[in-house]
Amino acid sequence: MVICLIVLMPVVWIVTVRFEGNKPSIVIEEPSPYIGKAQSLSVTVSDPKSGVRKIWIGLVKDGTETVLLKKDLPSAGLFRGGKDLKASFNLNIEPKSLGVTDGKAMLRMFATDYSWRNWMRGNRAYLEKEVIIDTTPPNVDVLSKIQNVSQGGSGVVIYKLSEPCDKSGVAVGNDFFPGYSGYFKDKNVIMAFFALNYQQGPGTRMFVKAIDLAGNTAKAGFRYYIKKRNFRKVSIHISDKFLNWKMPEFNVEVSPDSKTPMVDKFLKINRELRASNTKKLLEITSNSEGKLYWKNSFLRFPNSARESSFADHRRYVYKHHVIDQEVHLGLDLASVAHSPVPAANNGKVVFSGYLGIYGNTVVIDHGFGLFSTYSHLSGFDVKEGQVVSRGEIIGHTDSTGLAGGDHLHYAMLVHNTFVNPVEWWDATWIKNNITSKIKRIKSYN
């Protein structure tokens, strides 16, 4: 009996372990089914029981098979299987260098393990994946006319793509403004609102950029003229009365050894909290709805006096010393206390809440990357997700946040770039620079 067990146990081990019947696993990771001029392909093969023996990858196009990878992995010994239970490979596929033309193709892969199955050839896994070879960049045809843009100003470019693209829009310096389809019947006609920030003057490079589904990139220039602007330099005097009134509103800690705690707290709020709040605002405005809500000119806050200009360069003065400097990227508009604030145009509320130095704030998405913001409010008459109409009351003015008195801080952004709101108040400017360009593309509407 003992002899039988001694003989039987190795047989059972061989049958259950070395003759195991699980196929290797093949996992392929790629961003899309398209292969462009150069496509990186990551393949992982695993076989936790017998180890990986062989991996083969090929590309089949028009009946011709091109070998991309052929790899034999080492054995750990007859009774131990393969050395590698898992193996990963990174391939860089360049169709043109391989002599493969554009069009539909098949990516084929197979792998074997070190099992004794199939007359010692192991278990075999097979995987096929349809791909499209595309090494041709898209064609970009700019349809809109010359752009006349001021520093801190806005514009619109309309262009037609030869194929659907994964990403397209207008590049302005290092900034990128995505284009949107859906306004015109032809889905390949794209509209992109763009902007120059207050620092971008003449010499700033602008062009349309498109990246297709295979990663091929095309660029197209357009005619433009950039008008230089000089921005005001103003002094804001900070008093102890203001500090004692405003600083308790903010939960900001300063060093207990500070000899001027209120001033230090103000500086921390004006620098660090301002940067954090602005970053949050830019995150809110980084994604816009692909629907053009707004019509006609934007409504100015009624019966108000403008207390600041766009991109004022502010110096903060305390006891005759300049203690800080910031750029004010909006307009301060004052009326009577707690004045009702209307939505400047049709849109969807994407933010309604407290935002540090901006206080109670409402942000409205007008579609295609255009936003308006309303800050220092007493509260909110709207909620996030609500669609509002031009002139609809969204709140009332107050002095919440880092405001020295009751007023509305009004700002506008294109995508995530602050722009001069005065342009959007001007019906003539909108006609000449925006709507006339849109209406001119009649054959695609």
DSSP readout, 229-296?
----EEEEE--HHHHHHHGGGS-----TT-SSHHHHHHHHIIIIIHHHHHHHHHHHTTS--SS----S
Architecture of domain 140-229: Sandwich (2.60)
Tokens 């809500």 -> residue: 293
Contact present, 56 and 237 (Cβ < 8 Å):
no
| Residue 41 neighbours by CB under 8 Å, 6+ apart | 28, 29, 30, 68, 90, 91, 92, 93
Q: Which segments in the chain show pLDDT lower than 70? A: 1-17, 31, 443-445
Q: How does DSSP classify residue 302?
A: T
Q: Where in the chain is the domain with CATH 2.60.40.150?
A: 22-133
Contact present, 411 and 363 (Cβ < 8 Å):
no
For domain 233-414, give the CATH number: 2.70.70.10
Alpha carbon of residue 89 to chain centroid = 30
- Scored b (16 or more CB within 10 A) or e, 42-71 reads ebebbbebbbbbbbbbebebeeeeeebeee
Dig out the tokens for 73 from the structure: 């992995």
pTM surpassing 0.85? yes
- Give kind and range of the element (H or E) at residue 422: helix 421-425
Instruction: Identify the pLDDT of residue 218.
Output: 97
| Fold exhibited by the domain 22-133 | Immunoglobulin-like (2.60.40)
SS3 320: coil
Mean per-residue pLDDT of the chain = 92
Q: How far apart are the first and last CA of the chain?
A: 90
Q: Where in the chain is the domain with CATH 2.60.40.10?
A: 140-229
Instruction: Identify the pLDDT of residue 15.
Output: 53
pLDDT tens-digit map of 177-201: 999 999 999 999 999 999 999 999 9
Bridge-based pairing of strands 305-306 and 217-220 is: unpaired
Q: Where in the chain is the domain with CATH 2.70.70.10?
A: 233-414
pLDDT tens-digit map of 209-230: 999 999 999 999 999 999 999 9
